Structure 1
Amino acid sequence: MSRWKGLPEELDPRVRQLVVRLRRAKDYSGLSLRRLAAKTGYSASSWERYLAGRSLPPREAVEAMARLGGDDPTRLLALHEVAAEAWGSGAEHRRPPAGPGTGTPRPHGRALRITLIAGSVALVLAVAATVLLAVRLTDGEGKAAATPLTASTATRAPGSPKQPERERPTYTCRAERIDGRWYAGNSRTQKAILAKGHAGPEVAEAQCLLRDAGLSPGAVDGIFGPHTQRAVKDLQKRSGLVVDGIIGPHTWKALRE
């Protein structure tokens, strides 16, 4: 059996354990450093550094030594993974410069996975932040369903051809109580988010219900203007809700009761 020199005292115990197992496997194989180099593809000088604890062998070298030395490759590779973590955290100064035949360890797989996971988390957080900024804080849950007024209502540029005016829809209020809730015949929504600037049948429905509640939303024209907003705030104040002038699920509930 070979007489091995002592390992450096400052060598991390996790690296020391790997080197000791590699030395045992080398003794078991009975191969010289030159023959070991010929069978593994790593130079004799590289193996000399590996077995002296001066350089960390790559995974392929460890696996090759396990096959030649009759050791368990899985166990030896597990020791290499632990040793690589210890080597990377406190032994950067012991790594030789990269180059052909030096056996410099390749980037560790776990470090690469951590980098990819960190990048994915950063991307998810960025997307979530964008979505949160786009969501309006309302008095409960629900999704926006009303359509804001579009640019079609903007003043046309001087000299441009006159565009035919679109006829605005007319809305009527036909109050009807169904399953304990009031409906005005324009929309049956209970979760649409409505705010100043929105327009459509949902707004007309709210205007009808506000008017039936004794409030003054202005004309029932399906346009969420300042009069409608003021009437919504009056209803919210009367019902003990958050007074923000935005119609959400809780305000719809108060309107339909």
Structure 2
Amino acid sequence: MWGDMSPWKQLPHSLDPRARHLVVQLRRLKDHSGLSLQALASRTGYSRSSWDRYLNGRALPPQRAVAAFARACAADAERLLALHELAAAATDGPGGPGGGARREGPDQPRNPESAESAESAEPTEQAEPAEPTEQAGQAGAASTSGKPEEEPENGGGGRSGLRPWVTASVAAAVTAVVVLTVLLVTAPGNKGEERGGRVVAAGSPVTDPEQKPFVFRPGKDYPCAVHRDDDGLLYAGYSRTRTALIGKGSTQWAVVEAQCLLRHHGFPPGLADGIFGSRTERAVKRLQRDAHIVVDGVVGEDTWGVLRK
């Protein structure tokens, strides 16, 4: 069972850090589970050769494959799917900014019977270098086209209830969020001065501890020291926005601020790590439902108003 585990092949140098981080996490979980590629194929419905591509950075696994992998390895599916969203945004950019990883075909597994049965056929793997610092900025990407390498034969191994991701729609939505946020922050009606790349209300101290663009740090749980400021509103110290529009897939300081305030109000979103994933979305919906405002899982002006009270 341990025959096709580490040492791993070196990942492509051109692989985007977000895609690289996903692959490294999948490798670690596979090693910890003790599953061989053949065993992984039989449990997920995706062939042994497919997992060889996914785990060596040559192709980005479909969302359903990641969900099936999490079940097979008893891992946190939500965290892996959040990392997959970031990696997918990286690999969808013009010219393939994801580097060595390309998008895999339709979001369906192959028939497990089509998986290769000879474990000894897997190439000898080489040790992987130390994992570099991963960065995940806000991603706005255009979709790429390409003929899928493998066609699905059945729908097994998928996770029911997953929201389908249409690449073009997601890219357009993220781009719209970025543009709208910039317009809201720089609008003439916003009184204050710009410090460290954000607008601070006049007479207020700088609350962003980093004073620099947000960079995702895997596993980082930012401290949430929520306090009530002179204006009578609650702040956690990461953003003073009351209008920024953030939703699933957003990665910025405003997300950390929202996560801290959600936690303060009794709607825990998981880690306050700046990634607006599924758990954060569910926490936002619970807050919106409790406050009797529109329940859409997106933090806008109305939701900020509830969070700041």
With normalisation by structure 1, the TM-score equals: 0.39
Structure ID, larger Rg: 1
Write 1 or 2 for the structure with the bigger share of helix.
1
Q: Could you tell me the TM-score, scaled by structure 2's length?
A: 0.33
